[in-house]
Amino acid sequence: MDGQNLDLAYLSLSAILFAIGGVGLLIRRNPLVMIMCVELMLNAVNLTFVTFGKMLNDISGQVIVFFVLVVAASEVVVGLGLVVAVARRRPDADADDLQALKG
């Protein structure tokens, strides 16, 4: 495969991963699965950034990916903390039960 076809394959894979994450986010009601779908979508975006950085011979794609990974790690820490806090009180909680966190 030449470089252009390989880049197109990476972009297609990224679009497929993003679509799977989006559908999973809309369909599933389990908060833990929803967080995993958001992470899948963020990784699809990271793959797109790296591919465009390679296509343009620019390192800024990798720099953006670094910052996206930092934000994703922060999102996982906060999100999992909330999910664990709700799951301890209600083991059968779903996404609609997160409204119980309102003061």
Of all residues in the chain, the percent with pLDDT exceeding 90 is 62
CATH of domain 3-92: 1.10.287.3510
**Long-range pairs, 44-48, Cβ under 8 A, ≥24:** 44/14, 44/15, 44/17, 44/18, 45/14, 45/18, 47/10, 47/13, 47/14, 47/17, 48/11, 48/14
Q: 87 pLDDT exceeds 90?
A: no
Q: Is 23 exposed, middle or buried (0-12, 13-18, 19+ CB in 10 A)?
A: exposed
Residue 95's pLDDT band (cuts 50, 70, 90): confident
* pLDDT of amino acid 88: 85
